[in-house]
Every structure is written in structure tokens, then in C-alpha cells.
Amino acid sequence: MSETITTDREPVDQRDEKKNGAQAAPANNDQQATPPGRRKRLIALLGAVTLIAGAAYGAYYFTEGRFHESTDDAYVSGNLVQLTPQVTGTVVAVNTDDTQIVKAGDPVVTLDPADARIALADAEASLGQTVRRVSGLYVNNDFYAANVAQRESDLARANDDLRRRAAVADSGAVSAEDIAHARDAVQAAQAALDAARQQGAANHALTDRTSVEQHPDVQAAASKVRAAWLAYARDTLPAPVTGYVAQRQVQVGERVAPGTPLMAIVPLNGVWVDANFKEVQLKHMRIGQPVTLTADVYGSSVKYHGRIEGFSAGTGSAFATLPAQNATGNWIKIVQRLPVRIALDPRELAARPLRIGLSMTVDADTRDDSGSQLGAAQNTRYRTDVFAQYDAQADGEIEKIIKQNEVAAPATASQPTPQRVAARDHKGTAG
């Protein structure tokens, strides 16, 4: 016969549940103790702060923010002036290196001038010979003039002889043969005079309406001297602009050909910023609007000021090597960016110089949108005068050679020459 045994012990799980309930009871009492009014006040305060912040942002946007367009997709750009030779030669000197500054006109690279010097000497000698030969043509004008005067005198004497013989022909003092000889002498003198005149005319055709310096033969020889001089002068490569040397590739002893890039010269005083704005930001942007910029290299505390100078004629994808073909295959719209050129304040640029490729942050003020997005009719011009001296030096060399080889000016018609004197005296005797 079994007995039922009872005990006051509770299962362990039930005791744990009661203990946890006893511990959680005070917390529930605290939550229930929070007044409902306080909770409402906190919610109202949070809503008020949110409303004030939204109103403040709205006021800022409508009074200031909507007139600004910014981007950090902006970089410093500038002119990379490539130094390239114009003649073939061997490099014998390089007078600068990367990071160094050169001034416009400074000799940067020198090529071996031996071959060019020989060609120049040959051309100068040829010019001297041409000047002497052409000067002889001008001297021959007087010679042919004197020859014509002599032939005229011979013709006049032959006519006088024929006239005297013809006057006494009827008396029988002169034979018919002598008269025939006299008539032949007149014809021979006339032919000699015509030949002398033709020779003079031919020589005048080579000299009239020009001078020794402007004679075509002299000019042709002078052109060869000028070409040889330019080839000789171009063995020294000057810096086209003032700037810093970058990407030097040339080495001493290297054989270079025309067009070979030797180095780049970067004028940092004329850099600008290319800011790539999204197409949705361009609606109110115009040329001339003020721009505030910061450079990552100097931090946000340093401000640059500039103005929008122009807009690119196309987006970056339009000028890509392989432009996107949106008309083929599946199409996904991508917001395009347009490069905007920004000119910087030269004084700020001189105080804190920038290098090409540095990152910039740009903020454009679009409040005044009365301007145009198209550039003005006047274009920017870049030029250098360092090569102009070559022509002046060549002209000076040519002028010196002409003066050294030009024959002294011949006597004019008013100044009697020995030939003219002899012809005049003979003509007077015959008369």
C-alpha cells in the first residue's frame, strides 16, 4: 500500500520566475511613475527644435543658399609649353633641370653647331660673290653707254667720209670703188651702233628699277644666308616663356630630331581652375560671376577669389577618345559634368602659388545671372618674342656682307668718264 508524500519545496523553475518578477517589479513601477505631461513636453520641444532648424535652413536657402553652386571636382590647370628643337643635332649642353625656373630667352639646350657653321660660311661666301657680280652689271651700264657713244662717233665719221666722196664723185677724183667702200663703212658703223645699243639695253634690263641690295640675284643669295643663319641660331634653344621646368627628358649626347619633346616649361603665374559642375548646376551660372575657392594643399582657411571665365564647348565624355554611344544597346542616364574655367586673382596666386593638377573646392555665387554663357568676341592671345631676334641678326649679317662686297658707285651721266671724253673729242674732230 503506497503512501503519498507531500513536501513544501517548489520546483526550481518556479522559484526563478518569481525572483525575476520581483526584481522587474520596481522598474515597471518607475516607468509607470513617469508623468505623461513630461513626455509630451519633450516631444513638443523636439518638434519645436526641428521646426526652428527647418525654418532657419529654409531662410538661409531662399536668401543665400540657392544662389551658390559648389563642387569639389575641380583642379588647377595651366599651359605646358613644350620645348622642341627645330633642327637635327646632337645635344652638347643642358643648362637647367626639373623644378628650376628659367626666364624667357635663356639658353636652355645647346646642339652641336659645327655643321650649321660650315653651311653658313658657304652661304655667306656665295652672297659675296653674287654681290660683286651684280655690282659689275651696274658698272657695265656706263661701259655700254660709252661704247654707244663711240659707235655713234664712228657712224658720224663714216657718214662724213661718204658725203665728201659723193660730192666729188662726178669730177672723177674718187673712184666708184671708194664710194662703195665708204657706203659699206657707214653700214658697218650703223650695225656696230645697233649692237652696242642692244648690249646696253640688255644690261639695263638686268639693273633698271632696282639696286644692288634689292637685285633678285642678291635677294636669292641673301635668302640662303638667312636660312643658314637660322639653322645655325636654332642650335641654341631658348626658353619661350618664363616658368618652371618639368618633365625633362633630354640628355647630353643625345641625337634629337625636329619635334622631339625635350622638356616642358610651366608658367605658374598664369594658371587657372577647371571646375567640373553637374549639368543641373549650370542653369544660373554665367561668365563673370564671382567664385570663392580653397585648395587642399593650403586648407579651408586660405581663400582664393576668382571669376568664371568661360564654359567648355562640350562635356568630358563628348571629347573622350572613345565617346559613349548612347544610341546602341541598353541605355542608362548618367549626369554629365561640364568644365567651367575660372580665372584666379594674380595677387593671391603670387602670395600662395598653385601647381598644375592640385585639387580645389569651388563655390560660385550665381546671384547675378544677367551675363552670358558664351565667350566674348575678344580671344586670349599667347605669344613669345624670343625667336624674333633671329631675323634681326640674320638681316644684320646680310647687310654687312653686301657692304663689304659692293663695288663703288659708278660715275653718273653728268660726270665725264675717259670713254665719254674720248668719244666726245673724236666726234668734235670729225665735225
| Of 356, 175, 191, 135, residue with least CA distance to 265 | 356
| CA dihedral of 359, 360, 361, 364, whole degrees rounded to 10 | -140
| Of 89 and 23, more confident | 89
Confidence of residue 223 (pLDDT cuts 50, 70, 90): very high
| Of 410 and 304, more confident | 304
The interaxial angle of helices 216-233 and 114-167, nearest 10 deg, is 170
Is it the case that residue 380 has pLDDT exceeding 50?
yes
Is it the case that residue 120 has pLDDT exceeding 80?
yes
Q: For position 181, what pLDDT does the model report?
A: 82
Residue appearing with cell numbers 658698272: 139
Q: For position 21, what pLDDT does the model report?
A: 52
Which amino acid belongs to residue 201?
Answer: A
How far apart, in Å, are the Cα atoms of 254 and each of 84, 99, 113, 260, 303?
13, 22, 14, 11, 46
Q: For position 423, what pLDDT does the model report?
A: 41
Every domain of the chain and the residues it spans:
68-80+100-110+236-319+332-378, 115-232+390-430
Which grid coordinates are listed for 355? 601647381
Q: For position 226, what pLDDT does the model report?
A: 94
Q: For position 408, what pLDDT does the model report?
A: 65
Note the pLDDT tens digit of each residue in 50-65. Answer: 888 888 878 767 766 6
Question: Rounded distance, CA 341 to CA 343, Å?
Answer: 7
Are residues 234 and 83 in contact, defined by beta-carbon separation less than 8 angstroms?
no
Rounded mean pLDDT of 375-387? 80
Domain 68-80+100-110+236-319+332-378 class in CATH: mainly beta
Are residues 241 and 281 in contact, defined by beta-carbon separation less than 8 angstroms?
no
Are residues 240 and 384 in contact, defined by beta-carbon separation less than 8 angstroms?
yes
- Is the sign of the CA dihedral 150, 156, 160, 161 positive or negative? positive
Are residues 257 and 85 in contact, defined by beta-carbon separation less than 8 angstroms?
yes
Q: For position 431, what pLDDT does the model report?
A: 38
Are residues 430 and 155 in contact, defined by beta-carbon separation less than 8 angstroms?
no
